Amino acid sequence: MSQNRQLAAILFADIAGYTAMMQHHEEDAMQKLRHFKEELTEKVMASGGSIIQYYGDGCLITFLNALDAVECAKKLQEAFTIEHNIPVRIGIHVGEFLIEEGNIFGDSVNIASRIQSMGVPGGVLFSDTVKNQIKNKPDLLFKSLGQFEFKNVDEKIEVFALANPGFPVPDGSSLVGKFKEPKTERPGQAVSKGTINKRSLLLALAVLIVIISISFLIFQKAKPPGESGIVKDFGQTLPRSIAVLPFADMSPDKSQEYLGDGLADDIISALSGIDSLVVIGRTSSFQFKGKNIDLREIGEKLGVETVLEGSVQKGGNIIRITAQLINVKDGSHIWSQKWDRDMNDLFKVQDEIANGIKEKLQVSMIRDRRTSAPSNAAAYEDFLKGRRLLLTGLPENVVQSRDYFLNALDKDPAFADATAFLSLAYWRLGTFIYPAVEEDRRKKALDSSSKFARKAISLDERSAAAHLAMASYYMYNYDWINAEKEYRRAHELGPGTVEKNFLAEFLSDMGEYEEAVKLAKEALLIDPLDLNSMLTYAVVLKKKGYYKEAIHELEKITRIDSNFMKAYGQLGHCYVGLNKPDEALKSWAHQHEAYGNNELAAIYRKSDFRTAMQAWIKQSTTRDAPISSGEYTIAIIYSYFKDKDNTFKYLELAAEKKLPTVIGVKAEKSFDFLKDDPRYKAYYRKIGLNRYDEYKKNQ
């Protein structure tokens, strides 16, 4: 009898609910099984794995290492979910096992099987030994589900879920699987078989009485007055995840889209204050806007249990709003309501919708994120229009957004959020959009940003947007300590994707990579299809010097939106970091073409790197300057040529003009060659980074 011990990554996969499939749709079930085996054969072989054996609707596979196993599992689930709609569970563990006459045995095999048993369709779960081998791979996200005691396994095992966008992360407290049965007797107590049966019966009876009592109370609480019947979700776990779709514009001329978007935005913001509720972010929810897709399909694609949809129509100063909370499992209505209100009551309707959801899902608001409501309905409409434009980031839209915010403040001077967003619009104009040659215009924009930031915070200290604006104010004054405090306060008040991304990018500029990556990943978990969140994550990776990983993330963005210019800009910098100047020029040429700067794009496509960069510097001193041009960016260009004198020259010019982008000298890899020069330390002190370091040291 031949025996052989090996150390490997062990992967178990099976089709969830396959027996029920066979009973109801045998032909469909067989087709899913064929696709299941075809994908396994193709992708396991390509990943260097070995299929040990099939067992019905399941499969046992081994890999040489954990990374190959997880990456293969990721590819498999993407194929099963997107291409074939097969509900597959996957569990992975690393350890030693015994091979005997073609079969494998051992505790490691048992653990992998147990982890797979607690899996969810579309997900990938793995043990802490797997996590330890992939933790330095920034493109693999994961989340701990807690520690579990499995049958026939002596020690507790910490289990993690793959948390990349599109992969479900289950609630560890509600999972089922092959766990140890809880002990009922005291340690060391001998109990006869008859006593066990009697105690089990009494325990079961007591539990049944408690369940009936609690269920009766829930039924009484959930039943509307005067309505009889059985609670539909009796005995089931209440849903804990939701996607809020943009409210449909029901106006005859379809001119009120901003109202539907704004209403959904504010409800998402309100619900994000509930820690026990997973709320999908704006971009991922809004991708279904205007599409005739079944709500159950939307729920499945977003990985949520409930979806809120509705409609909005304004006539004069009266607004009609409908809202329905849908259970995606069966398409049933959990709750619905209709309102005909004065526009000035719009905030009250938003609160009523959020409260209705809280009551039906039995969750509690732990942070009050409501800021002061505007006193003028028309001001709120202008604010919604401006916010919608500002979020696009396009130069012409940012200019328009500024005008809408100014109109809102003409109608309601005490409107804090409009004041804060006006500050952010001016910040964007002065920092990234106005050309460097228009120095006065740029300075006026940044001065205006500071003025309105201070005004916003004085109007409403609990506005997250006001704190983001104040962070920009401190950045402009090179007060990095208070800038961080304001970014953290904004995140505390409104921990959404925008707040997480601002804080993540600031921390990456300061070299606080671990927390920056964590925040960027959290933003992606909330809103996996948000291009700005994807960009922030890539930028954080780039600043750490993970150029290949950053390129991988940036290419995802360009596949979704081939004209997302900021992604091409960062791609170019990553390729320079990898010493691939030709690839950098291709990316930047695409960026300039998207902006309509065909002259510079043509030079990039036919010239060498140095000639192209000189053309960029020349054009950046004209009114036709490329976007994000300026002294700091010119310093980066000279850093690519290791030209210390010109790099310092333009860094000094950037500091003279109070450009906040100089923060990059602390962590940008391209400036590392300066750090042995005395001028670097002097510059570091000049812009106050030494004070920030001292502050962090004393925390």
Domain boundaries, the chain: 3-174, 241-361
Closest CA to 21 of 38, 11, 33: 33
586 pLDDT more than 90: yes
**Per-residue confidence (pLDDT) for residue 222, from 0 to 100:** 35
CA atoms within 13 A on the CB side of 438: 18
**Per-residue confidence (pLDDT) for residue 271, from 0 to 100:** 79
121: left (phi over 0), alpha (psi -120 to 50) or beta: beta
Distance CA 252, CA 293 (A): 22
Mean pLDDT for the stretch of residues 215-233 = 31
**Per-residue confidence (pLDDT) for residue 225, from 0 to 100:** 30
Distance CA 657, CA 444 (A): 12
Confidence of residue 315 (pLDDT cuts 50, 70, 90): confident
Mean pLDDT for the stretch of residues 266-283 = 76
Confidence of residue 103 (pLDDT cuts 50, 70, 90): low
Q: List pLDDT tens digits, range 554-578.
A: 998 998 888 888 899 999 999 999 9
**C-alpha pair distances (Å), 83 with each of 11, 45, 617:** 21, 19, 47
- The reply to whether CATH 1.10.3720.10 applies to domain 241-361 is no
Q: List pLDDT tens digits, range 419-428.
A: 999 999 999 9
Mean pLDDT for the stretch of residues 209-213 = 35
CATH class of 3-174: alpha beta
**Per-residue confidence (pLDDT) for residue 202, from 0 to 100:** 43
**Per-residue confidence (pLDDT) for residue 91, from 0 to 100:** 95
Confidence of residue 101 (pLDDT cuts 50, 70, 90): low
Closest CA to 88 of 144, 149, 161, 14: 14
241-244 vs 306-315, strand pairing mode? parallel
CA atoms within 13 A on the CB side of 392: 13
Residue 268 · residue 285 · CB < 8 Å: yes
Confidence of residue 138 (pLDDT cuts 50, 70, 90): confident
**Per-residue confidence (pLDDT) for residue 432, from 0 to 100:** 81
**Per-residue confidence (pLDDT) for residue 368, from 0 to 100:** 47
Choose between 152 and 614: higher pLDDT.
614
Distance CA 610, CA 618 (A): 12
Q: List pLDDT tens digits, range 351-389.
A: 788 777 777 776 554 444 445 567 787 888 899 889 888
**Per-residue confidence (pLDDT) for residue 203, from 0 to 100:** 43
**Per-residue confidence (pLDDT) for residue 269, from 0 to 100:** 77
Residue 453 · residue 426 · CB < 8 Å: no
What does pLDDT average to over the chain? 82
Cβ neighbours of residue 395 closer than 8 Å, sequence gap 6 or more: 433, 627
Please list the residues that pair with 69 across neighbouring strands.
none
**Per-residue confidence (pLDDT) for residue 275, from 0 to 100:** 64
658: left (phi over 0), alpha (psi -120 to 50) or beta: left
40 pLDDT more than 70: yes
Do 3-174 and 241-361 fold alike per CATH?
no
403 pLDDT more than 60: yes
The SS3 assignment for 226 reads coil
Enumerate long-range contacts of 622-629, CB under 8 Å, 24 or more apart. Answer: 622/435, 622/437, 623/435, 623/437, 623/438, 624/435, 624/597, 625/435, 625/436, 625/437, 626/592, 626/595, 626/597, 626/600, 627/395, 627/432, 627/433, 627/565, 627/595, 628/432, 628/569, 629/435, 629/436
Q: List pLDDT tens digits, range 620-646.
A: 888 777 766 789 999 999 999 999 999
212 pLDDT more than 70: no
Distance CA 163, CA 571 (A): 24
Q: What share of the chain is helix, strand, coil (3-state, %, to 5)?
A: 55, 15, 30
**Per-residue confidence (pLDDT) for residue 218, from 0 to 100:** 33
Distance CA 162, CA 342 (A): 47
**Per-residue confidence (pLDDT) for residue 207, from 0 to 100:** 39
Distance CA 113, CA 121 (A): 15
Choose between 265 and 436: higher pLDDT.
265
State pTM to two decimals. 0.61
**Per-residue confidence (pLDDT) for residue 569, from 0 to 100:** 92
Distance CA 324, CA 314 (A): 19
Q: How far is CA 305 from the centre of its chain?
A: 18
664 pLDDT more than 50: yes
**C-alpha pair distances (Å), 645 with each of 2, 209, 579, 649, 663:** 71, 82, 22, 6, 19
**Per-residue confidence (pLDDT) for residue 194, from 0 to 100:** 40
Lookup result for tokens 């040429």: 589
> What percent of the chain lies above the pLDDT cut of 90?
37
Distance CA 454, CA 450 (A): 6
Distance CA 69, CA 77 (A): 12
Confidence of residue 95 (pLDDT cuts 50, 70, 90): confident
Q: How far is CA 64 from the centre of its chain?
A: 32
Rounded (10°) angle between helices 581-594 and 609-620: 40
**Per-residue confidence (pLDDT) for residue 188, from 0 to 100:** 40
Choose between 434 and 71: higher pLDDT.
71
